[in-house]
Amino acid sequence: MAMTVGSRQRDPEVMIDINTTPLIDVMLVLIIMLIITIPIQTHAVKLNMPAGTPPPPITPPQVITIDIDFDGTLIWNGETLSGRPELEARLRGAAASADQPELHLRPNKLVKYRSVAMVMASAQRLGLTKIGMVGQEQFIR
């Protein structure tokens, strides 16, 4: 008992692939629904800021300028220092004052980074908090 399906002529082969278009449509709808229902994550830091304008400073801040020459020579407000111990003694005195002075570092563009980092590390370790770099225009080409 044999059974033949189709006519004797050659019929095109039956397509056995699944149609994935409806499946993809359903998955996209589910993804959109998931995105809509997820709560929005806020990464805000709540700060209690003071209202109004702060009063102007009573006295202008004292400024200490430390120039670092190309060979690592330290100059404190125009006066050449002998080395790191003298620098740290002066920084310790500046950090001990009630109203800390602003420390302006002005490195030469040819100085090694090690010398600049040493001054900044010493100032931070001894407790100075107002440190800034000045003279950046020399680095612009």
Using CA atoms, how far apart are residues 66 and 82, in angstroms rounded to an integer? 13
pLDDT of residue 39: 78
Q: Is 12 among the domain residues?
A: no
Q: Is 101 among the domain residues?
A: yes
Question: 99-132 burial, b if ≥16 CB within 10 A, otherwise e?
Answer: ebebbbbbbbeebeeebbebbbeebeebebeeee
For 118, phi then psi, to 5°, come to -65, -40
Q: Is 84 among the domain residues?
A: yes
* Residue 71 structural domain: 63-136
The closest of 64, 70, 135, 66 to 108, measured between CA atoms, is 70
Number of domains in the chain: 1
Lowest mean pLDDT among 2-6, 11-15, 24-28, 67-71: 2-6
pLDDT in tens, 85-103: 999 999 999 999 888 899 9
| Res. 72: pLDDT tops 80 | yes
| Res. 2: pLDDT tops 60 | no
Q: Is 141 among the domain residues?
A: no
- CATH code, 103: 3.30.420
Q: Are 61 and 94 in contact (CB under 8 A)?
A: no
pLDDT of residue 45: 72
pLDDT in tens, 28-62: 999 999 888 887 777 777 778 878 888 887 888 89
| Res. 4: pLDDT tops 80 | no
Lowest mean pLDDT among 8-17, 32-41, 67-76, 103-112: 8-17
Using CA atoms, how far apart are residues 128 and 9, in angstroms rounded to an integer? 97
